[in-house]
Amino acid sequence: MTAYHQFLAAHPDYATTGALDDLRAAEYARLDAHGQVYLDYTGGGLHAASQVHEHAQMLSGQVLGNPHSASPSSIKMTQHVEQARAAVLAYFNGGGEYTAIFTLNASGALKLVGESFPFETRGKLLLTADNHNSVNGIREFARAKGVTTTYAPLTRPELRLDQATLDGFLSDADPAAANLFAFPAQSNFSGVKHPLDMVARAQSKGWHVLLDAAAFVPTNRLDLRVITPDFVVMSFYKMFGYPTGVGCLLVRNASLAALRRPWFGGGTVNFATAQGQMHVLSRGEAGFEDGTLNYLGIPAVAIGLRHLENVGIHTIQTRVNCLTDWLITQLLALRHSNDRPMVRLYGPANMVQRGATVTLNFYDPHGHLVDYRRIEELAGEEGISLRTGCFCNPGAGEMSEDLNEDDMRFGIGQIGAEINLLRFSQALQARGKSAGAIRVSTGIASNFADVERFMAFAARFKDQTALTIGAVTFDIESCRVVRDGG
């Protein structure tokens, strides 16, 4: 029996997702044409060829100008933007209850919440340790208004939220003050799906809830009639690859009034005077959409959502769950000849409440950590795209490796003023800890051959020492791998 047949026997649901193989052949043929294995869907989704084609046809067949004016080209463009807005609200079932604000990306949406939330000294900001840096950054807006940030810890090794501690923090708020609780629906580090019932629980205790749905919505349905966060953020390229440069903040209408914009700009005011130094902010989403929107890109959001609807999010979810389950089982079974495990997995080792993001590190037969950047380099040579580092989620990374404040200070002490991440991670390595990891994630166009190729690649490291595999660092500015000392 081939590995594929064994996989099918163990994951019979996979057979129900055969339409995705046809889809891959028709819409994502570039993957196989270039022999590429794409395993970075949590970094960015892939677009179907027809999305780009339909968008290009729309742009080349119409005269479209800057929206919000009375000219024919402007009226047409306004219609397209508003259709896309309606499509977003319909997709998430938020019509009537939510306002959709277009932003540059999820980070732009998070910044809007951070700068507009009415933090006050009696209020609180509660973040989960598992959060993207663009959520962590909100603490700086809170700090500026004298509000301290509390982090809810994770449990090891699953990296789930410690619910008892969280409940204690949630109960500790003054419901009469403005309190903000922010968490990701799905971790971009470990793939953990955090319980969405925390939204209603926190709200009942006097919190506004900000749900970071960026890593969740590419493979899961979010129904805003069922789960009703005050704020939801996402980036559309993560859902369907194209367009980049458009994200969204969905705000519950009842919570919109609580936000206070700290400035105004072009497009956000109904009235402004230079002489009188007064302005009147536009109502609804217009008051939050600074300057000129990415108006030509926004209609591609409606095209992408239609594509996702046609493919079916449930089918995608079924497929990536099967692939992830197989991948995890195979990775954990990898052993050196001396029976030591080759891989350390961060996060759940099963499919209970987790998505298609798998984070790991390789270890050699002596138990020494293999440089994750070197793994990325070697994977690249085989046409495999994966992601390494801390994925802008320092809290989950620190918890996964049990890195404490002392470790961080020790690591920083070793590098002094010079910011050299290689030295920093070597210092942590001396303490048996890692400052980064390897992330593999599947999505809409993934198939068994992709994960099988990754496993064949992973198996190569059997019995190899960390020294022979080598260490590298990546210079982000030149986009080049630089060897230690060179």
Ligand X SMILES: Cc1ncc(COP(=O)(O)O)c(C=O)c1O
* Pick 106 or 369: Cβ nearer ligand X: 106
List active site positions.
392
Taking CB under 6 A as the rule, does residue 268 contact ligand X?
A: no
Helices (H), 145-187: 163-171
Could you say which of 88, 101, 106, 403 contacts ligand X (CB under 6 A)?
A: 106
Give residues with Cβ within 8 angstroms of 282, minimum separation 6: 267, 268, 269, 270
| CB count in 10 Å sphere of residue 237 | 25
Could you say which of 215, 248, 396, 428 contacts ligand X (CB under 6 A)?
A: 215
* Pick 135 or 202: Cβ nearer ligand X: 135
Taking CB under 6 A as the rule, does residue 359 contact ligand X?
A: no
Could you say which of 51, 78, 99, 105 contacts ligand X (CB under 6 A)?
A: 105
- Candidate ranges 145-153, 210-218, 340-348, 444-452; the one touching ligand X (CB under 6 A): 210-218
* Pick 128 or 134: Cβ nearer ligand X: 134
Cα 241 to Cα 296: distance, rounded to the nearest angstrom: 16
Q: Footprint of ligand X on residues 134-173 (CB under 6 A)?
A: 134
Q: Footprint of ligand X on residues 76-95 (CB under 6 A)?
A: none
Taking CB under 6 A as the rule, does residue 357 contact ligand X?
A: no
Q: What is the DSSP letter of 252?
A: E
Task: Output helix, strand, coil percentages for the chain, rounded to the nearest 5.
Answer: 40, 15, 40
* Pick 244 or 317: Cβ nearer ligand X: 244
| Total length of the chain | 486
Size of the site for ligand X (CB under 6 A): 11
Cα 357 to Cα 189: distance, rounded to the nearest angstrom: 7
Residue 24: enclosing H or E segment and its boundaries? helix 19-27
Taking CB under 6 A as the rule, does residue 235 contact ligand X?
A: yes
Q: How far is CA 2 from the centre of its chain?
A: 34
Least distance to ligand X, CB of residue 250, Å: 14
Taking CB under 6 A as the rule, does residue 214 contact ligand X?
A: yes
Vertex 415 angle, CA 471 and 134, to 5°: 85
Taking CB under 6 A as the rule, does residue 132 contact ligand X?
A: yes
DSSP string, 266-327: TTTEEEEETTTTEEEEPSGGGGG--SS--TTTTHHHHHHHHHHHHH-HHHHHHHHHHHHHHH
Could you say which of 212, 398, 401, 450 contacts ligand X (CB under 6 A)?
A: 212
Question: Distance from first CA to last CA of the chain, Å, rounded?
Answer: 48
- Candidate ranges 99-107, 139-147, 149-157, 298-306; the one touching ligand X (CB under 6 A): 99-107
Taking CB under 6 A as the rule, does residue 229 contact ligand X?
A: no
What is the contact surface with ligand X in residues (CB under 6 A)?
105-107, 132, 134, 184, 188, 212, 214-215, 235
